[in-house]
Chains A and B, each alone.
Chain A
Amino acid sequence: IAGITQAPTSQILAAGRRMTLRCTQDMRHNAMYWYRQDLGLGLRLIHYSNTAGTTGKGEVPDGYSVSRANTDDFPLTLASAVPSQTSVYFCASSRDWRTTDTQYFGPGTRLTVL
């Protein structure tokens, strides 16, 4: 079944360490997104990519970076993790950024920064 995969499923990380969350989709979707979900705050957009080779900042981009070298992969990097980055991270994709298309979500990565 086509879809989105994320790795790792969960991770405990020491503050100050570098971490890359992986996201891969096999639906040939053009647009991809990273969200974080925190209790009481809902889903918030971190970064997005409309097509391979382009990226943009969302609502809460500070402390995070992304790259989009190809259509399928959209990794999220925390250069130096801080405890406030403890969250559940969801990757999502949609067919086309130029219209309102349904976003499909990966299973999430639960990250704890100590």
Chain B
Amino acid sequence: ETGVTQTPRHLVMGMTNKKSLKCEQHLGHNAMYWYKQSAKKPLELMFVYNFKEQTENNSVPSRFSPECPNSSHLFLHLHTLQPEDSALYLCASSPGDSGANVLTFGAGSRLTVL
């Protein structure tokens, strides 16, 4: 596999469920990101990891919990979400976290919270 792979592609969960989104990159990149894409709103950066260390948490509610066990894998653990959390969650990676770097995105995980 090449590029950035996200699983699952679609997820429906109740507000009391616990689920996780997974992201894997095969590009040898050192930085990984979670973005939230909602209709009619700009992409919102949620978290940045550089060399497995979290370097950015964009005031994300604690019901979203990221985990980066190594530079190739990134998880987003979901717990007691709200209906307004329904969105497309995009994972991305880049060689480093310099602003000049290009992001490579996965296809996204479409989350619906009932």
Is the A/B pair a real complex?
no
Task: Please give the residue numbers on chain A whose beta carbons come within 8 Å of chain B beta carbons, in ascending order.
Answer: none
